[in-house]
């Protein structure tokens, strides 16, 4: 019922109608006529024969025309239509309705079914008890239909008197007013809608689309109709209308021709702000520039259809626009425009996403670079330090442990440097506008990283070399201490002995001391060699330090006996030896004199003794 009424609303423009949708399209003639009326284009000449083959050929011409409009007819063949297959016929008519009545609906960047639903929602938003969310149960109470009419023609509906609990009255009121005053035939049955749990969506959409087309071009259609009424009186007016079509078509085609290159321009911008400006320009185009052109296109089609109807009714030849200005040419140009528009929007969004990713990557690069640069601050100076030149062995070992910790830290930062380089590479591949500065900064980081690596290696070598040298020096110091201590003790004992007081009574005792002293003096050459060897150890340690620019921090850590002490005591020993020699020789001389006296005394005692004894007797 709905589809039949919709078809008749267009066929009556050609002075005909259908009674049974299953039967009346079987020969293809009225189907081809319906397509000519709703498209404004001429189809191939139909075959007037009554045979089945003629009917199939006519239906195929209609189906080919529908397919040429980009519509895919799935499982719908001419034979089914000719055979009166109701399901296939209704499917075909629904496809035609979608393509020519619903597909071109565009509201706030939505189109087709979504656009029609949004249009209904916008128009009925101010009305209480109306909440259009779909094309089935939202329309059951009839208030949405009445609200649409009242919004555009408030004088036709007393909306405040309608009751939500009386859906049949509401529906019939809307259907009758639409048919009587808006020239929209009744396509639905109120009882069917009310008594169905979920009204047929396709029927509701078809009927509602008639309201959309009636209201969206009502004012201009009325103006065009008035103009055509005047033109019917005089042929001159028809010519004027043709000229208007030609001019409007030329202007619209020129606008399309001028706009398509802008929409096909894919020149990327450097920054997201510039691309967002292009997106804003595109939205201005959608909001400001395109809608008037949509109206012009609708007006053009209305004018064309009206003109053709008036010419046919007045038995005038059909109007044939200039080459390239047919409605089909405009539709093709418009389709190209919308394809470019769709591609342009997709490109803009992709570019913005690309630039957002680039901005994210660039910010990520800057953050990682800043963190790395902050970490490297002072590292070169630290690695260039020569603090090991004045360090002790324990200090060197501590420095080596500290350096090992730094090497671990350095290795841990290797991943960040690789990430920085990888991000810079990705920015280059994505054609980031500020790649030169990114590359320069990345190169500086990489160069500095190489320098840090080289300095780290050099410092490790220097620390290990110094450690080895200090260990050698330490071993020399230990050997020095081990030999210097007994040698020092020997010299102190020698000095004590050389300065020791001696008391002798006989020549034998002094000669024993002289013999012991001579024995001591015989050890002095070996002692001197030992001294030289000990001093040589110290000199070797100093030589190694001087040769490797090592500044020894102080005295030998293993002993307090310095070379100066050894030399000083050795000199003292050297001084005491001759003094001891003199003292012993003097004492020897004294003992020799004493011995001589003793001998003299003894010989005299041998003579005097007996004489005294004799005298005493």
Q: What are the DSSP calls for 196-207, one per residue? A: SSS--HHHHHHH
Decide if pLDDT at 133 tops 90. yes
Range with the lowest mean pLDDT among 16-20, 101-105, 211-215, 333-337?
Answer: 101-105
pLDDT value, residue 515: 92
Judge contact between 469 and 541, C-beta under 8 A: no
SS3 290: helix
Backbone angles phi, psi at 69, to 5 degrees: -90, 15
Spatial separation of the C-alpha atoms in residues 344 and 554, rounded to whole Å = 81
Decide if pLDDT at 49 tops 70. yes
Burial string for 570-593 (b: 16+ CB within 10 Å, else e) reads: bebbeebeeebeebbeebbeebee
Spatial separation of the C-alpha atoms in residues 615 and 598, rounded to whole Å = 25
pLDDT value, residue 578: 92
Which comes out higher in pLDDT, residue 540 or 230?
Answer: 540
Read off the pLDDT of each residue in 236-254 and give the average, rounded to a whole number: 85
Which comes out higher in pLDDT, residue 192 or 218?
Answer: 192
Decide if pLDDT at 225 tops 70. no
pLDDT value, residue 163: 92
Going from the C-alpha of 507 to that of each of 191, 497, 586, the distances in angstroms are 164, 20, 12
pLDDT value, residue 148: 93
Q: Long-range pairs for 183-192 at CB < 8 Å and ≥24 separation?
A: 183/9, 183/214, 184/9, 184/210, 184/211, 184/214, 185/5, 185/6, 185/8, 185/9, 186/5, 187/1, 187/2, 187/5, 187/6, 188/1, 188/2, 189/1, 190/142
Range with the lowest mean pLDDT among 135-149, 253-267, 314-328, 592-606?
Answer: 592-606
Range with the lowest mean pLDDT among 53-62, 227-236, 320-329, 409-418?
Answer: 227-236
pLDDT > 70 fraction of the chain, expressed in percent and rounded: 94
Q: Could you count the other beta carbons within 10 Å of the beta carbon of residue 475?
A: 12
SS3 322: coil
pLDDT value, residue 176: 94
pTM of the model: 0.42
Decide if pLDDT at 311 tops 70. yes
Q: Where are the alpha helices (DSSP H) in 392-434?
A: 393-429
Decide if pLDDT at 269 tops 50. yes
Q: Long-range pairs for 549-553 at CB < 8 Å and ≥24 separation?
A: 549/389, 550/389, 550/390, 550/466, 550/469, 550/470, 550/473, 551/389, 551/390, 552/473, 553/390, 553/391, 553/392
Q: What is the pLDDT of residues 83-99, one digit of tens each?
A: 888 888 888 888 888 77
**106-107 vs 110-111, strand pairing mode:** antiparallel
Range with the lowest mean pLDDT among 321-325, 446-450, 454-458, 560-564?
Answer: 321-325
Spatial separation of the C-alpha atoms in residues 211 and 179, rounded to whole Å = 11
Residue 526: pLDDT band (50, 70, 90) is: very high
- Residue entry with tokens 């002692």: 527
Q: What is the pLDDT of residues 289-301, one digit of tens each?
A: 889 988 988 888 8
Decide if pLDDT at 222 tops 60. no
| pLDDT, the chain, mean | 85
SS3 106: strand
Judge contact between 28 and 46, C-beta under 8 A: yes
SS3 562: coil
In sequence order, the 6+-apart residues with CB closer than 8 A to the CB of 595 are 506, 507
Backbone angles phi, psi at 196, to 5 degrees: -105, 130
Judge contact between 74 and 92, C-beta under 8 A: no
Read off the pLDDT of each residue in 520-549 and give the average, rounded to a whole number: 89
Q: What's CA 258's distance to the chain center, in Å?
A: 37
pLDDT value, residue 607: 55
Q: What is the pLDDT of residues 423-435, one digit of tens each?
A: 899 888 888 888 8
Spatial separation of the C-alpha atoms in residues 410 and 407, rounded to whole Å = 5
Backbone angles phi, psi at 111, to 5 degrees: -140, 170
Largest CA distance in the chain: 214
Judge contact between 129 and 164, C-beta under 8 A: yes
Decide if pLDDT at 219 tops 50. no
Range among 78-82, 523-527, 591-595 rated most confident: 523-527
Spatial separation of the C-alpha atoms in residues 497 and 524, rounded to whole Å = 14
Number of residues assigned to the chain: 617
In the structure encoding, which two tokens stand for residue 367, read together? 């953050």
Residue 529: pLDDT band (50, 70, 90) is: very high
């Amino acid at each position: 019922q709905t589809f039949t009424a919709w078809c008749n609303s267009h066929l009556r423009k050609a002075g005909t109608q259908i009674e049974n949708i299953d039967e009346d399209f079987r020969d293809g003639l009225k189907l081809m006529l319906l397509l000519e009326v709703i498209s404004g284009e001429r189809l191939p000449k139909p075959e007037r024969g009554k045979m089945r083959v003629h009917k199939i050929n006519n239906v195929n011409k209609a189906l080919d025309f529908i397919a040429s409009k980009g519509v895919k007819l799935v499982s719908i063949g001419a034979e089914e239509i000719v055979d009166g297959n109701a399901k296939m016929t209704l499917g075909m008519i629904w496809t035609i309705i979608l393509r020519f009545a619903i597909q071109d609906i565009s509201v706030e960047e939505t189109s087709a079914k979504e656009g029609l639903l949004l249009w209904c929602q916008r128009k009925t938003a101010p009305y209480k008890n109306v909440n259009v969310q779909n094309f089935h149960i939202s329309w059951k109470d009839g208030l949405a239909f009445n609200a649409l009419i009242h919004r555009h023609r408030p004088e036709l509906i007393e909306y405040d008197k309608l009751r939500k609990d009386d859906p049949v009255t509401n529906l019939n009121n809307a259907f009758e007013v639409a048919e009587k005053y808006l020239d929209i035939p009744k396509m639905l049955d109120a009882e069917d809608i009310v008594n169905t749990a979920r009204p047929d969506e396709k029927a509701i959409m078809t009927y509602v689309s008639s309201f959309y087309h009636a209201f969206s071009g009502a004012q201009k259609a009325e103006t065009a109709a008035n103009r055509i009424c005047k033109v019917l009186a005089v042929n001159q007016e028809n010519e004027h209308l043709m000229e208007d079509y030609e001019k409007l078509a030329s202007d619209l085609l020129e606008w399309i021709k001028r706009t398509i290159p802008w929409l096909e321009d894919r020149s990327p911008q450097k920054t997201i702000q510039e691309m967002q400006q292009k997106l804003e320009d595109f939205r201005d185009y959608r909001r400001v520039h395109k809608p008037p052109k949509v109206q012009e296109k609708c007006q053009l089609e209305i004018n064309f259809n009206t003109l053709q109807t008036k010419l046919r009714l007045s038995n005038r030849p059909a109007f044939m626009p200039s080459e390239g200005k047919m409605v089909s040419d405009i539709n093709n140009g418009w389709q190209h425009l919308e394809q470019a528009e769709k591609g342009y929007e997709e490109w803009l969004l992709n570019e913005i996403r690309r630039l957002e990713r680039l901005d994210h990557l660039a910010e990520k690069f800057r953050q990682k670079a800043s963190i790395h640069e902050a970490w490297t601050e002072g590292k070169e100076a630290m690695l260039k330090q020569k603090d090991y030149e004045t360090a002790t062995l324990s200090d060197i070992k501590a420095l080596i442990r500290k350096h090992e910790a730094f090497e671990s830290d350095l290795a841990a930062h290797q991943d960040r440097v690789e990430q920085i380089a990888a991000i810079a590479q990705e920015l280059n591949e994505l054609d980031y506008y500020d790649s030169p500065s990114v590359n320069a900064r990345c190169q500086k980081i990489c160069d500095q990283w190489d320098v840090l690596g080289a300095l780290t290696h050099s410092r490790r070598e220097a620390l290990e070399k110094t450690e080895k040298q200090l260990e050698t020096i330490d071993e020399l110091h230990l050997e020095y201490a081990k030999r210097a201590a007994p040698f020092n003790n020997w010299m102190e004992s020698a000095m004590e002995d050389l300065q020791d007081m001696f008391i002798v009574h006989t020549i034998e005792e002094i000669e024993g001391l002289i013999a012991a002293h001579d024995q001591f003096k015989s050890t002095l050459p070996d002692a001197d060699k030992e001294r030289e060897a000990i001093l040589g150890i110290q000199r070797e340690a100093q030589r190694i330090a001087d040769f490797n620019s090592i500044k020894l921090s102080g005295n030998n850590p293993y002993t307090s006996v310095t070379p100066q002490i050894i030399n000083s005591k050795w000199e003292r020993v050297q001084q005491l030896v001759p003094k001891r020699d003199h003292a012993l020789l003097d004492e020897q001389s004294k003992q020799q004199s004493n011995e001589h006296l003793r001998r003299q005394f003894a010989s005299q005692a041998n003579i005097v003794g007996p004489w005294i004894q004799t005298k005493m007797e």
